[in-house]
């Protein structure tokens, strides 16, 4: 997950270096709209009105306002975007790997569902944190008679 976040940051930096402010148009550059726009940019599109149509779920007013920030970088974006296809492919690979591993973890944690649900009732403890706690501590707390032993 950290590697995916780092790669998305590198992609964002590549776009910013090309003066393409995609984040001002798409809330999530790796969301549906962002990916469509990225693919169009990589394919060589420089038509900002066409690109604006790729924004899914965005009001027309926001589209026209925000595309002015992209248009300045469009004409000189091609050389700067040469690494984007590899970056996007790497992000896709990482997302697929995360999905596969998450499915394996969910399957292995199924017998511990009750313990997971109990841990999730603790403020600030979500599913992944609860899974990490169980992996580190185990589900058998009889080995640790007091909370102090558990904490140490």
Task: Dump pLDDT digits (tens) for 11-27.
Answer: 888 888 877 777 777 77
The answer to whether residue 87 sits within a structural domain is no
Q: Give yes or no: residues 78 and 132 share one domain.
A: no
The answer to whether residue 22 sits within a structural domain is yes
Could you give the number of structural domains in the chain?
Answer: 2
Contact 4, 98 (CB under 8 A): yes
What is the average pLDDT across 69-82?
56
- Any idea which residue has 């589209």 for tokens? 63
> pTM to 2 decimals?
0.69
The answer to whether residue 43 sits within a structural domain is yes
DSSP 29: T
> Which residues lie below 8 Å from residue 78, measured CB to CB, with a gap of 6+?
44
Q: Give yes or no: residues 76 and 7 share one domain.
A: yes
Burial of 40 (0-12, 13-18, 19+ CB in 10 A): middle
* Per-residue pLDDT, 145: 85
Range of the domain at 54: 2-82
* Per-residue pLDDT, 3: 93
Taking the CA atoms of 110, 105, 28 and 38 in sequence, report the sign of the dihedral they define.
negative
The answer to whether residue 74 sits within a structural domain is yes
What is the average pLDDT across 83-92?
90
79-93, 96-110, 135-149: which has the highest mean pLDDT?
96-110
Which has more confidence, 133 or 19? 133
């Amino acid at each position: 997950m950290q590697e995916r976040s780092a790669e998305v940051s590198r992609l964002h930096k590549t776009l910013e270096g090309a003066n393409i402010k995609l984040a001002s148009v798409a809330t999530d550059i790796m969301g549906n709209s962002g990916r469509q726009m990225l693919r169009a940019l990589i394919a060589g599109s420089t038509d900002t009105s066409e690109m604006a149509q790729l924004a899914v779920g965005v009001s027309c007013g926001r589209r026209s306002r925000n595309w002015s920030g992209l248009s300045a970088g469009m004409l000189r974006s091609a050389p700067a975007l040469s690494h984007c296809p590899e970056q996007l492919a790497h992000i896709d690979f990482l997302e697929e790997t995360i999905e596969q591993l998450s499915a394996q973890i969910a399957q292995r944690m199924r017998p511990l569902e009750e313990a997971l649900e109990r841990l999730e009732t603790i403020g600030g403890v979500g599913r992944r944190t609860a899974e990490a706690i169980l992996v580190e501590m185990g589900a058998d707390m009889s080995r640790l008679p007091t909370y102090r032993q558990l904490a140490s």
